[in-house]
Structure 1
Amino acid sequence: MSMSFNLNVIEEFRANGGRVGGPFEGGDLLLLTTTGARSGRPHTVPLGFVRSDGLLLVVASAAGAPEHPQWYRNLLAHPVVRVELGTETFDAIAVPAEGARRKELFDAVVRTAPKYGDYQAHTGRQFPVVVLERPEAPPGQPREVRSLADKLLEAHTWLRAQLRHVRAEAQAHVPGRPAGLGLQLRQHCLAFCEGLSHHHTGEDSAIFPALARSHPELAGVLAQLGEQHRVIGQIKEELVTLLAGIELSDPERLRVELEWMSAELESHLDHEEAELLPALAGIPFPPARPGPIGR
């Protein structure tokens, strides 16, 4: 599909609550926004989807083209994607299926949408089947975010839950096993690393400088936390390097790095919460918007 055609479909989708005409009329369609593998810029494409046993699936068929579509290459580099489905928008982790699981899911897709079977029959490329996982709120997460302290705890709860998840997958990963977790583990681990980077960048660029101005007595604590960010960032970069290929060639080293990350991150999060939550509890979130001038 051409870029102009895609743009028209995207505009129509957003203007009509997910309903479009033309070749997609009456079909199941979503918008997938990925982050460019090289550019780092967002890219949105309309895609057909299939639901199977509660899973939301998309297929990188490219209508039978000999190469994987760009959106698939993007999500291998950046697994956290944005999904627009009807009037709903949410973030998801894109996880391609492997081995027997991939065949099982592709067969389920073809039963619902036979065109994918027709496309597959005319190319030697095996179509990736991607599960769009919508992370559930982990137990203990604040139900309502009213202050910056609540927001910090929400982010910390997500990071702890994701790290526990990837550590469990790393322990279960056995190279060469037919139903191995290599690609699934890789995507979840990269998603954790992206979330960690985003959180620490936000703290370093906005939250910590603001606290330094409003609470100068925290200057020493903030400097310590910033140094911890740098240490944890170095571990994260080592994890990303290990995950640079699609296959995990050294799972034992990955397990060691994840245990190191867990120890450093848990210590850092506990320290940050003990020192900063009292100050952040008095700051509303989201920030109140200023009223009209003169009122």
Structure 2
Amino acid sequence: MPMSSLSSSSFNQSVIDEFRANGGKVGGPFEGGDLLLLTTVGARSGREHTVPLGYVRAEGLLLIVASAAGAAEDPQWYRNLLARPVVGVELGTEVFDAVAVPAEGSRRDRLFAAVVRAAPGYGDYQRHTERLLPVVVLEQPGDTTPREVASLADKLLEVHDWLRGQLRHVRAETEAHFADHGTGAEAPPPLGLQIRQHCLAFCQGLTIHHTGEDQGVFPALAHSHPHLRDTLDRLAEEHRTVARLKDGLVALLAELGSAEPERFRAELARLSAELEAHLDHEERELLPALADIPFPPVR
């Protein structure tokens, strides 16, 4: 029997507590099962919410299914990740962030078949509802070489590497989208959700990064490095410009289905170049000072 989102919040919490106390192992009805903890941010509340979920590995991917035990509506955690795709995952003793990307079309069908082969109960859930059960890929960072983080400069570069990676995903998937639609194929692979999730992940990550800088890093750095105060003020102002660029990126991708390819490509290239130029500029201005600050902070 697959482990879907569990209905009782008190029971959920007891499973979560047991999972964390025992390195990912739980007893009772879930003993020996493949279980992870998924933390999403509420689409409306903005609060973190953790649920235990069953998972399946197939085609080298980490998969979860928004089955809700065959209920008529998607579970709340799935609605949350559609709004904020960067999620927290606890798998055994491993803790990491992932980008949650629902599979679409024939890829979804293929992955769901693999899930059912591993955990047949999901097939029963699908037969009990008219809702097509979403299959979600939890993408771990894999297109950048992990950095050894010993200073705040290293941490800044790690975050910037991740942001650049999400932009690369958006551009590559947009090219694939237009290429598929330009071949005249009857049913090109749908990529709308994939592009949308990576775009939102970039925007979510950039917002968190800039909020942390504006409210924490920049004030502390201005105090310890007074000569950087003017630079930090300019970067904070630049953050407001970047926020408008970010909104422009979201608006542009909302037009993907009806956009003229060449105009869309040109506008996406312009927005991407300006966003990456900001990351480059921030690194030039801040890395020398941040290189002397240990990370994690020494208490």
Asked if TM exceeds 0.5, the reply is yes
Q: How many residues align?
A: 285
In the alignment, structure 1 residue 165 sits paired with structure 2 residue 169: yes
What is aligned with 1:146? 150
What is aligned with 1:7? 13
Amino acid paired to 1:146: A
What is the aligned counterpart of 1:120 among 103, 116, 126? 126
Change (3 A) 1:158 1:28: same
Change (3 A) 1:256 1:196: farther
CA contact (8 A) 1:221 1:275 kept: yes
In the alignment, structure 1 residue 37 sits paired with structure 2 residue 47: no
In the alignment, structure 1 residue 50 sits paired with structure 2 residue 56: yes
What is aligned with 1:292? none
The Cα shift of 1:9 comes to: 1.3
CA contact (8 A) 2:88 2:97 kept: yes
Secondary structure in 1 matching 2:99: strand
What is aligned with 2:197? 187
Secondary structure in 1 matching 2:18: helix
What is aligned with 1:213? 223
Amino acid paired to 1:182: G
What per-residue deviation string (whole Å, max 9, x for no partner) do you get for residues 249-276 of structure 1?
Answer: 4455764553233222222222222222
What per-residue deviation string (whole Å, max 9, x for no partner) do you get for residues 143-195 of structure 1?
Answer: 32222222222222222222122111122224695312110111111111111
The Cα shift of 1:57 comes to: 0.7
What is aligned with 1:269? 279
CA contact (8 A) 2:67 2:125 kept: yes
The Cα shift of 1:216 comes to: 2.4
- Structure 1 window deviating more from structure 2 (216-225 vs 91-100): it is 216-225
Secondary structure in 2 matching 1:131: strand
What is aligned with 1:293? none
- Structure 1 window deviating more from structure 2 (150-159 vs 120-129): it is 150-159
Unaligned 5+ segments in structure 1 are: 290-295
Amino acid paired to 2:169: H
In the alignment, structure 1 residue 155 sits paired with structure 2 residue 159: yes
What per-residue deviation string (whole Å, max 9, x for no partner) do you get for residues 220-275 of structure 1?
Answer: 2222212221111011123335567xx95445576455323322222222222222
**Separation (CA, whole Å) in 2 of partners of 1:255 and 1:190:** 18
What per-residue deviation string (whole Å, max 9, x for no partner) do you get for residues 102-156 of structure 1?
Answer: 00000001111111111111211110001111112614x5x32222222222222
What is aligned with 1:89? 95
What is aligned with 2:105? 99
Secondary structure in 2 matching 1:288: coil
What is aligned with 2:3? none
CA contact (8 A) 1:100 1:178 kept: no
**Separation (CA, whole Å) in 1 of partners of 2:250 and 2:168:** 17
What is aligned with 1:288? 298
CA-based RMSD: 2.1
The Cα shift of 1:56 comes to: 0.8
CA contact (8 A) 1:186 1:248 kept: no
**Separation (CA, whole Å) in 1 of partners of 2:266 and 2:45:** 31
TM-score (norm 2): 0.88
What per-residue deviation string (whole Å, max 9, x for no partner) do you get for residues 27-68 of structure 1?
Answer: 111111111111011111111111112111111111111111
Amino acid paired to 2:129: T
CA contact (8 A) 1:151 1:285 kept: yes
Q: How does 1:197-208 map to 2 (within 5 A)?
A: 197-208=207-218
**Separation (CA, whole Å) in 1 of partners of 2:8 and 2:285:** 53
TM-score (norm 1): 0.89
CA contact (8 A) 2:249 2:271 kept: no
**Separation (CA, whole Å) in 2 of partners of 1:254 and 1:47:** 39
Change (3 A) 1:288 1:137: farther
Unaligned 5+ segments in structure 2 are: 1-6
Amino acid paired to 1:230: R
In the alignment, structure 1 residue 239 sits paired with structure 2 residue 238: no
Change (3 A) 1:208 1:254: farther
